[in-house]
Amino acid sequence: MNNEIEAMDFERFLMRPAVASDIDAIERLANASAFGITTLPTDRAELQARIQRSLQAFASEDAPSGGEIYLFVLEDREVGRIVGTSGIAAAAGAGRHFYSYRNEYIVHSATNATQTRIHTLNLCQDLTGATLLTSFYIEPGYETSVASQLLSRGRLLFIAQFPERFAERIAAESPGLADDVGQCPFWEAVGQRFFGLSYPEAERIAVGRTKDFIGQLLPQSPLYVALLPQSAQWAIGQLHPVAELPFSILQDEGFDADTYVDIFDAGPIVDAKVAGLRTVASSRVARIKARAGKGTPDRGAPGVLHLMASTRRDVFRAVVGMLGETSMDVDARSGHRLGLQEHGSVRVAPIEYMPGEGRTYD
């Protein structure tokens, strides 16, 4: 199936805001993800509330409060199926503290001039208020297609179009090591000792919340990594295998992955300045033309693959399309997929993707 989807026509994919009628599909995707992989709750009522809150954020004309969340779905329109979700939290912590561990090293010097470099984890709130990318999940059969690029990077086009609603700094949590039954080496060595909860129980309590209550109860003193079991030491900064795809996309965007780790499973937390991300920095606004003109490729003609997004928040859509090498005009076919008419504005950004090579390129 992977080979079939790698060769898919990119025009079949549409990214859009989640709506109430998507509840069955989103519930299916939330239940399909492994422990700690998505911030989506599995409880149907909580999912419905999340969708409603997102719809309010897309539609609101009020000044942003920082508590907004935006939930997107990815449609494969050829088969009439939702195959992925992704989201944005306008401000990590949403008015509360957002805790993470910061990697630091202490150098101890002895009288004989020998030095010892000791790795510590320091509980911090550095990322409180940063915009947070959340809820990424795509069905496995679509991972190596351009669909995964659209689902992840389409969020960045949305942020680029509406920068006043987001912070200048952006972050994303990546799930750490845990097995299929929820055994997590880092949690068992640290969190479980203070809370008496298994990793799945802690995740269930925290989903949809800020983890603020966990962070407040953890020791405030540095955590000396050398004192942890070897399994927990090795897990620090390591990815859950299913997280490799979204993590690689974010790294290609320019996110840094060396400074912070999650307080639950020690998975890497990436962060960056929004303005420095590839999709944001390379994006620009183009116009739709009624028909392909000079430099604008007809369907099947050579061109440069681009992410394309509408510029209205209340009817946001994102797709993948072609632009000619010498023109920034968007053809009417792509405009139609975005629900736009001639001369409508479209935010675009190039996407370097080579179908069939088994990974993503940016």
Where are the domains positioned within the chain? 11-280
Residue 353 has a pLDDT of 58
Which are the catalytic amino acids? 240
Residue 227 has a pLDDT of 95
Residue 195, exposed/middle/buried by CB under 10 A (0-12, 13-18, 19+)? middle
Residue 315, exposed/middle/buried by CB under 10 A (0-12, 13-18, 19+)? middle
Please tell me the distance from the alpha carbon of residue 259 to that of residue 98, in angstroms, as a whole number.
Answer: 15
φ/ψ bin of 309: left (φ > 0), alpha (ψ from -120 to 50), beta (otherwise): beta
Residue 324 has a pLDDT of 73
Taking 50 as the pLDDT cut, the residues of the chain under it are 1-7, 208, 292-297, 300, 354-362
Is residue 251 classed as helix, strand or coil in its secondary structure? Answer: helix
Q: Which residues of 77-102 are buried (b: 16+ CB within 10 A; e: fewer)?
A: eeeeebbbbbbbbbbbbbebbbbbbb
Instruction: Report the DSSP pairing between strands 268-273 and 256-261.
Output: antiparallel
Largest CA distance in the chain: 78
* Residue 357: both structure tokens together: 């090579």
State the CATH class of domain 11-280. Answer: alpha beta
Is residue 313 classed as helix, strand or coil in its secondary structure? Answer: coil
Please tell me the distance from the alpha carbon of residue 40 to that of residue 28, in angstroms, as a whole number.
Answer: 11
**Hey, what amino acid is at 349?**
A
Q: How many CB atoms lie within 10 A of CB 8?
A: 16
